[in-house]
Structure 1
């Protein structure tokens, strides 16, 4: 299994990245390089679940592949990235010394974090064939971080590749100056059949795999969670039951309260233990509990460091809460899409066939214009939360607008 097989339903992107991997091997071997096949900066775009970070890591593994020369000698059309050698495995595991990843846990990527990574990327490869920087969620770069990255991309070090991932090429996602210096690879939502095949290969029964692939709306990671995690299925069911129940203003406020509290609880469950572990480890590193000379002074100087850690932890919790709310809003948006399909008598397969009764109920209660207005309200709520409107205010405004007549 090559590293590119992890990209589901992305044949055009796989072909382009395979050419780039062959060109990267030619550069290392000092052979003539196919014109335009390789560049030092890439931008992977596409909707959530399309595999942006998977594509970036696949290319990172392919350019580091230990068996590149042997594969290309045996078959000139073959691409590096065997998926079995030490370099391929360590890149995919996130432990390769020459592949650095920025995966933001909080709301943004800071300038200090970017400067540190860019500085290390300017060195020559230590064990691998290239220095590779993978930046997931490049749309979270602060202005200072974007400027630090721009300088590195404008004057790229030799044998260094930058791989950025972002939802789109819109200036709000990636600034134009960076985008214009990157080769853009657009990824599409993989079809449900392709996702179902992957789930079946993972050992999931065909019926569950088919349902999860459709319900995930093209998001491979969420399809896996829905197929395996009872709590994920329960959260989805609770969200999709909301539209048919919004028959009074009180029901709207109750639904909003449920959505926000569920997102807070999900974020808290994911962060509580991690926060305690991080705080304890940092305190020990700063000399907590020490009795030797200087221990008291070290403890006095640790307050600022602990405060910075708490700030990062709050940012991470906020990010996780927003992500949980966003998943719920995507489900609601697809519910109203299903309503429109019912109203139009379309043969297109519904995203949530297990909620056909609720979909039919709402479809009878409102007309097509009403369904479109409600779909717009859900999407507007997503935008408001991205713009830092307090989640409870944004969700309450949305549920009030979704109320059935």
Structure 2
């Protein structure tokens, strides 16, 4: 008689019943288990949550809740996980994953390698993974996460089984946020709509009035851009807001990491760092700087997503469709803009937003990239 696996690994997975059913089956039936998986879905759809739930079901014996909780907490010895703190995944980190993938499981049924943000690999880093994905050991399973298949090289896609997650409805996300945070239904609905169904971002907007105010200020500032001077001023303001937001997210973590390292090295609080251990402290600070750079770029990318929603709403109104607007609070401004512009100009701005995102991925300076975008907003022409 087969013992049913407990629900624990899947408790935190929300709104992905079909994907859960497929992975639960794979975890208990070797005939349905691929050696490498790619979980795709839009930001906030729960890719990473599902990946670790799958890892827990693969590693732990049925009924072993302690082992499952270890995996979910990222502390089980048979789980190797990578979520880059930098802008890209380094070759060094990729090689370390490959090396770990050849170890036999020490306690669990399988060794599982989870790579979050697999879309952050450049081509030469992807090539490091190819052989490991093509010929992994019998008891090793790879789980990659990315927004879409197109974000990975064809050579990687050909070696994995893809599982596409569904995008939840605004109403579904709003109900979840209200249940999790206790905010009123109106705030939950607005946050889910503004976050465009990104669960993590919706939760942050719902619980942080300052984040809601920064978003509103940014969109209203962009709507007031009329000339090059406005473009430069607003671009600088957006970068400053994104920088402040990034610092707020990372400052507390940076300090706790530094204190923990100094404590481990035996350095008393408030005393000078001895030369013998200064290299380790400098290495930590370098890692934190890379994380801060990524956090800033992620913040600017979030602004671009919000701007896309603004001009998407404008385009909808230009085609006489006023349902499902994301920024309903700006209805009057959006209608005025839709009348003042022709649809081709709106499309030009939307194309420029996409180009700006690509430029930032190529390490363009955020302020200059945003200035160029906002000049297009002001003039309707690409600089």
TM-score, scaled to structure 2? 0.88
**Alignment pair present for 1:132 and 2:127:** no
The equivalent position to 1:250 in structure 2, one of 226, 229, 237, is 229
The total of aligned residue pairs comes to 371
**Alignment pair present for 1:56 and 2:51:** yes
How many angstroms does 1:273 deviate by? 3.9
How many angstroms does 1:90 deviate by? 2.5
1:98–1:126 Cα contact (<8 Å) kept: yes
CA separation in 2, counterparts of 1:288 and 1:154?
Answer: 46
1:260–1:392 Cα contact (<8 Å) kept: yes
**Alignment pair present for 1:399 and 2:374:** yes
CA separation in 2, counterparts of 1:254 and 1:310?
Answer: 31
135-144 or 183-192: bigger deviation: 135-144
1:240–1:355 Cα contact (<8 Å) kept: no
1:336–1:375 Cα contact (<8 Å) kept: yes
CA separation in 2, counterparts of 1:186 and 1:218?
Answer: 16
1:43–1:184 Cα contact (<8 Å) kept: yes
**Alignment pair present for 1:261 and 2:236:** no
**Alignment pair present for 1:169 and 2:149:** yes
In structure 2, runs of 5+ residues without a counterpart are 1-6
**Alignment pair present for 1:364 and 2:344:** no
The equivalent position to 2:33 in structure 1, one of 38, 47, 57, is 38
The equivalent position to 1:191 in structure 2, one of 166, 169, 188, is 169
Closer, same or farther: CA 275–5 of 1 in aligned 2, 3 Å = closer
Counterpart for residue 322 of structure 1: 297
How many angstroms does 1:115 deviate by? 2.9
CA separation in 1, counterparts of 2:341 and 2:379?
Answer: 7
**Alignment pair present for 1:381 and 2:356:** yes
What CA deviation, in whole Å up to 9, does each residue of 1:83-120 have, x standing for no partner? x9223323222222322211111122223333333333
What CA deviation, in whole Å up to 9, does each residue of 1:238-284 have, x standing for no partner? 12212321123322221101111111122222333433444454456
CA separation in 2, counterparts of 1:164 and 1:326?
Answer: 22
- 1:217-256 aligned at under 5 Å gives the runs 217-256=196-235
CA separation in 1, counterparts of 2:253 and 2:20?
Answer: 36
CA separation in 2, counterparts of 1:52 and 1:161?
Answer: 16
CA separation in 1, counterparts of 2:241 and 2:37?
Answer: 37
**Alignment pair present for 1:89 and 2:69:** yes
1:287–1:299 Cα contact (<8 Å) kept: no
**Alignment pair present for 1:150 and 2:130:** yes
TM-score, scaled to structure 1? 0.83
CA separation in 1, counterparts of 2:189 and 2:258?
Answer: 43
The equivalent position to 1:207 in structure 2, one of 176, 186, 199, is 186
Query: Residue 190 of structure 1: SS of its match in structure 2?
Result: coil
99-108 or 386-395: bigger deviation: 99-108
Counterpart for residue 287 of structure 2: 312
CA separation in 2, counterparts of 1:60 and 1:141?
Answer: 22
1:135–1:165 Cα contact (<8 Å) kept: yes
266-275 or 221-230: bigger deviation: 266-275
Closer, same or farther: CA 392–109 of 1 in aligned 2, 3 Å = same
CA separation in 1, counterparts of 2:121 and 2:106?
Answer: 27
Counterpart for residue 72 of structure 1: none
Query: Residue 149 of structure 2: SS of its match in structure 1?
Result: coil
How many angstroms does 1:6 deviate by? 3.9
CA separation in 1, counterparts of 2:308 and 2:145?
Answer: 24
What CA deviation, in whole Å up to 9, does each residue of 1:152-188 have, x standing for no partner? 2222122111100112222xx3233222111111223
Query: Residue 138 of structure 2: SS of its match in structure 1?
Result: coil
How many angstroms does 1:194 deviate by? 1.9
Query: Residue 80 of structure 2: SS of its match in structure 1?
Result: strand
In structure 1, runs of 5+ residues without a counterpart are 28-32, 69-83, 290-297
